[in-house]
Amino acid sequence: MIYSYNKQFNGFAALLDEEDAAKLAEHPDVALVIQNKGIKLHTTHSWDFLQLENNGVVGLYSLWTRAKFGENIIIANLDTGVWPESKSFSDNGYGPIPTKWKGGCHNETLVPCNNKLIGAKYLNKGHEALLGKTDPSMNNARDHKGHGTHTLSTAGGNFVSGVNFSGVRMGTAKGGSPRARVAAYKVCWPIPPTFLKYECNAADIVKGFETAIYDGVDVISASLGAPPTDYMNDALAIASFHAVKRGVTVVFSAGNDGPSPGSVFNVAPWVITVGASTTDRDFQSFVHLASGLDLKGLSMPNPIPRNGLYPLVNAANAKAENATSMDAMFCAQGALDPEKVQGKILVCLRGGNIERADKGAEAARAGAAGMILCNDKAYGDDITAELQLLPAIHITYADGLRLYAYLNSTNKPMGYITHPEAAIHMKPAPKVAQFSSRGPNSITPEILKPDITAPGVNIIAAYSEDPKPVLPYNIDSGTSMACPHVAGVVGLLKRVHPDWSPSAIKSAIMTTANIIDNSGNPMIDETKHEASPFSRGAGVIDPNRAMDPGLVYDLTVNDYLDFLCTRGYNKTIIQKFSGQPYECPKNYNILDFNYPSITVPKLNGTVTVTRRLTNVGLPGTYTVGVKSPAGISVDVKPNILAFGKNGEVQKFELTMKADGTRVGRDYVFGELTWSNGNHYHVKSPIVVSMA
């Protein structure tokens, strides 16, 4: 026996061979048997960009003010643990821990907790069952990776002024709910043979969910995920369902497999799935060439010594004896000859299925003075600033062509990488990050995923101070960084609206999201074209508007069970899944599932969709507005909804049919808006494809 799950749901994790597992699955009291597997892991300026503050000034009508900065909300983070000594987890000025808290800290002499960091637990029995015993010195919640500290401090880190990164002042670090209490559940562990990469075991994650629910958390943030599978075989979907059933809002990252269609992870309708977008801040640097040409790129503060110009070398021309030119061009591990690289600035090509950080590590191993990373055509203009083991800059495909042309034009190419500077108010922003995973939902295409996007590029947050060099604050990118932004906002919304359900909170976030960039145009993706709901979800989170959405699309536990009924599960399976008796309705259409977006795959003829809206604002009258998808006619009845009191529920029907002008089966997109003509504009994406 690895784990017994008996606090919030009934089950266990154990080592079984395939034959025994098959026999167990046939037992009448067993709902399902799921294979244990490894699951991947997926600030100072971003809160200003999201308008919770303005140049450090928090306004009277900011959600931060109204929510008292998330005071006494409890945010859990399932990740690589926590660096407890970080100033982001200082409890200066904090009162007693909320009385509802049942949690605590494992091995507190090694991972000390306080009135801010009120929980720190480790769960590794599933990991050990598959990969062997963990080093005993690691049996605690201390974060030796940095990922968990970064994500937890983004969600709920305290205010820390004077943060700097390699000598560059970055301002004040803080999380989305800076006065929340936080708890770390370490479920991700280093894996052999190198123990440099981390993996999160499904059995440990489920135990983490159960423990966090029992401990009394309000929000669970999990920047991790696995390729989607049927809900009854998805341990994360099952565990998160039980959290939502108990009123705990669960926020997951969407994954970093973009821009491939259908790459989005964590697609269960009861969780909030978060994609990544940019802010208006860049860390700009230049490649200065001896020819006089300057190429702008992005770089982290790790300046190259200013000793005049440096020799440049194309990595393809610096291959090791037993390496191919292709491997060398991509700066693959062991592909470079140090004698050809030592003391020079190395030019590497992005791609080749090699992580950017691994390219930098190979360049550093070979003794390069610096690295210029050039995009290939597929990556285009998608560049990012990230910390490397040596001074480095990332440039676009177009500038890469100019650089390679220069390298080929002279026998002695020379250049220099300038020191990066932080620049704000860059346009256009936000944009969808190229790496952010995309819809459609591969399990249930009737449910739009991702739900929302949030800042996930060049995010500054607390970090592990081990291994060296010491980095109390670090910059990172990924949907892992976007996820805790939303979790932090969820904490604020729970503080203002403690009676809202997880689905009401999700609806408020989605229906108030922003899809216009700071140039006044629809936000774009990496192609420079308008971002679709498959990349941006409902849009970029707008915390202040989410506080007062007017209307919400609410869902109950029974609504989620009705949804599962449409998947063909019988009542016995659903009862065991949910822990309660349930009879599936005889006639239930998945298109009527009360989601804040409307998605109709394979439209054939005429389809009518039903939705319910609940008034959470002032009494008022709302009129519908529709931006119809290309080639689709949309009719809404009634087109006016009048709400006389808070909590009142009204229904409407939306009928769609092809108007005869649409050719092909590609998805088309539109928008439904209910507006009171003043403050409230309740927006929902419409997504349709033809049969």
* Catalytic, out of 144, 147, 150, 242: 147
- Domains contained in the chain, CATH given: 3-277+430-549 (3.40.50.200), 282-422 (3.50.30.30), 594-690 (2.60.40.2310)
List, for residues 577-624, the tens digit of each pLDDT value: 787 888 899 889 999 999 999 999 999 999 999 999 999 999 999 999
Distance CA 308, CA 312 (A): 13
Q: Is 147 tagged catalytic?
A: yes
Q: How confident is the model over 331-376, as pLDDT tens digits?
A: 999 999 999 999 999 999 999 999 898 999 999 999 999 999 999 9
Residues 691, 670 contacting (CB under 8 angstroms)? no
CB 539 within 8 A of CB 514: yes
Q: Is the pLDDT of residue 17 over 70?
A: no
Dihedral sign of CA atoms 563, 564, 570, 574 in order:
negative
Angstrom distances, CA of residue 257 to CA of 146, 302, 330, 479: 21, 28, 20, 10
Q: What mean pLDDT do residues 385-404 have?
A: 93
Q: Which of 480, 501, 597, 628 is catalytic?
A: 480
What pLDDT score was predicted for residue 420?
A: 86
Our answer to whether residue 409 is catalytic in this structure is: no
C-alpha distances (whole Å) from 128 to each of 2, 36, 82, 203, 430 are: 9, 12, 20, 11, 42
Q: Residue 26's pLDDT band (boundaries 50, 70, 90)?
A: low
| β-pair type (345-349, 310-314) | parallel
pLDDT tens per residue, range 468-526: 656 788 888 999 999 999 999 999 999 999 999 999 999 999 999 999 999 999 999 98
The answer to whether 297 touches 384, Cβ cutoff 8 Å, is no
Containing 153, the helix (H) or strand (E) segment is: helix 147-156
Structure tokens belonging to residue 312? 């440049």
CA distance 277 to 537: 11
Residue with tokens 């108007």: 659
Please report the pLDDT score of residue 18 as a whole number: 60
Q: Of the residues 48, 79, 554, 592, which is catalytic?
A: 79
Q: Answer yes or no: are the C-beta atoms of 657 and 628 closer than 8 Å.
A: no
Active-site residue flag, 480:
yes
Can you tell me whether residue 635 is helix, strand or coil? strand
Tell me the pTM: 0.90
Q: In what order do the strands lie in the sheet with 74-79?
A: 117-122, 181-186, 74-79, 219-222, 249-253, 272-277, 452-455
